[in-house]
Amino acid sequence: MMAQRETQQGTRRERSPKRGARRSQRPRGSKPEARSKRPRGSKRPRKPAPGGKSSRPRKPKARNQQGVAILLVLIALAILFPFTATFNYKARVDWQSAVNHGDEVRARAIQRGAMQLSTLLFELQRMVFNSKQFREMVGAMDITQLAPYLMSIFGTQDGAEGLGALVGLDTSSLNELALDGGGTFEVRLEAESGKINVNCLAVESEGNDTPQARTYETLDALLMPKLYDPLFDEEKSDGNRYPRYEVLRALVDYIDPDTRKFSTYRLANSSQDERYRYQELVDPYEARDARLDSVQELQLVEGIDDDWMAAFAPELTVYGGCKVNINFASAEQIAQVIRHSVRGEDRWKTEGENFLTMTMPLANYVVESREFSLFKKLEDFKELVNDPDKYANPLTMMGEESDADMLANMPKIPDGIVVREIAGTKDGASWGGLRDVATVEPERIYRIEIITTVGSVSKRLTAVYDIQYARSQSQGKGAWLYYRED
């Protein structure tokens, strides 16, 4: 132990001269430099490298951290875009819905105004055109000939100008009557007596007239053109085909009051019972066996579908009487009238193929001729049918005789057919007359169709009006029989 202490002391003695040497290097009288105190644990700063830049190397940035801000912005936009688009879409839908609702309210108001105007036309027909004095002085006239021109004054801005150009008068003062604000309406008016009344299938006989058989023949002529072959040759939704005669027979059996099957050969009821599959359907029902309330009920008849209704429903009605109104009837109905009242010597012109080649052209000629003047009495119709050359179409008078091209394009006047006005019987033989099946009485029931357009909204109204419907004494005559909005 003593030896170790001596060794340590000797070592200290050897180091002491070095400390002294350091002190001897400091000039005398100078004070030692004060050392700056550094916080414990701090490192001594390094001297700057030549050029003024620090020699300490910087830590390089990680490559996976570049573009993070852009990525976050894109993610935020991707999240916000669907919400913004949905909000924008809903806002536009709500705005358009509000606009359409306003247009729909305006369209409905215009419809009601057009209906009120139409009642004025019906009163004009009932009180003026139907009066005996007017028909004797001016002739037969119907409101359907004037309604499109009169209603155009109120329906469109240029309606009055069109009417003025037609009659050659200054109608600028009527422009203020038209609708303003973007709304328009169009009125279509037609007489119901010019259609085939399917309810007449329920009437077997009416004096010398047989409405059931005549209506069946008229419907048969309506369905006859080959244009309608696909409606009867193709399979229906139930997998069956229904020829023309089966559809007509089912139609008669659905409306007539009995339960006997109609014979398409005898044009009368047979001894067989009706057998239809109305009770076998998923939603079973029974045959009406009575008059129909609307034409739409025909879709319940076996063999009649939407295609059949689209083709033939506009020619049918359930209103009016069973006699054919010559002033409004179709060519098929007029042809049946000619066939019923033809004289014996000309009967061959209404039978077989001659019905299509001789009777139908004459009926079409009658329809074209009455556009300029309606028949005042049945005798006028009789004279036209007997000798069409005496009542040439006014269109043939518009060109000069030297204009060969124009005359060549004019329709050919068909041969006449002699008809009787009064039915009779002689030596066991009977014949029909015009008075049994036809009439020229003023129209009573009208169908009106109002098409209204306001902005992007379009509405259609269909109604039927009876101008002679007896109401209470204070309310007068006339009433709406049918009303539907689409």
CATH number for 262: 1.10.40.60
Q: Give the pLDDT band of residue 39 (cuts 50, 70, 90).
A: low
Residue 436: count of CB within 10 angstroms of its CB: 20
Same domain for 428 and 451, yes or no, is no
pLDDT at 445: 92
* Cα torsion angle, 315, 321, 323, 325, sign: negative
Among residues 293, 321, 349, which one ends one of the domains? 321
Residue 213 has pLDDT above 70, yes or no: yes
Cα distance between residue 358 and residue 400, in whole Å: 29
Cα distance between residue 131 and residue 339, in whole Å: 32
Same domain for 177 and 240, yes or no, is no
Same domain for 317 and 208, yes or no, is yes
In a domain, 198, yes or no: no
Same domain for 289 and 215, yes or no, is yes
Residue 28 has pLDDT above 60, yes or no: no
Same domain for 182 and 114, yes or no, is yes
Range with lowest mean pLDDT among 4-18, 56-70, 293-307, 413-427 = 4-18
Same domain for 300 and 387, yes or no, is no
Amino acid at 111: Q
Same domain for 350 and 398, yes or no, is yes
Distances (CA, A) of 350 to 338, 339, 361, 417: 8, 6, 11, 9
Same domain for 232 and 297, yes or no, is yes
- Short-list 220, 441, 420, CA closest to 325: 441
Same domain for 404 and 476, yes or no, is no
Residue 263: count of CB within 10 angstroms of its CB: 14
In a domain, 10, yes or no: no
Percent of the chain with pLDDT over 70: 75
Q: Which residue has the higher pLDDT, 440 or 27?
A: 440
Residue 2 has pLDDT above 90, yes or no: no
In a domain, 471, yes or no: yes
Cα distance between residue 315 and residue 346, in whole Å: 29
Same domain for 113 and 165, yes or no, is yes
In a domain, 67, yes or no: no
Same domain for 211 and 315, yes or no, is yes
Domain that holds residue 465: 99-192+445-485
In a domain, 71, yes or no: no
In a domain, 66, yes or no: no
Write the burial class of residue 8 (CB in 10 Å: 0-12 exposed, 13-18 middle, 19+ buried).
exposed
The torsion angles phi and psi of 103, rounded to 5 degrees, stand at -65, -35
Q: Give the pLDDT band of residue 9 (cuts 50, 70, 90).
A: low
Number of domain units in the chain? 3
Whether the model pTM is above 0.75: no
In a domain, 364, yes or no: yes
- Short-list 357, 366, 424, CA closest to 391: 366
In a domain, 421, yes or no: yes
Same domain for 107 and 157, yes or no, is yes
Among residues 321, 345, 373, which one ends one of the domains? 321
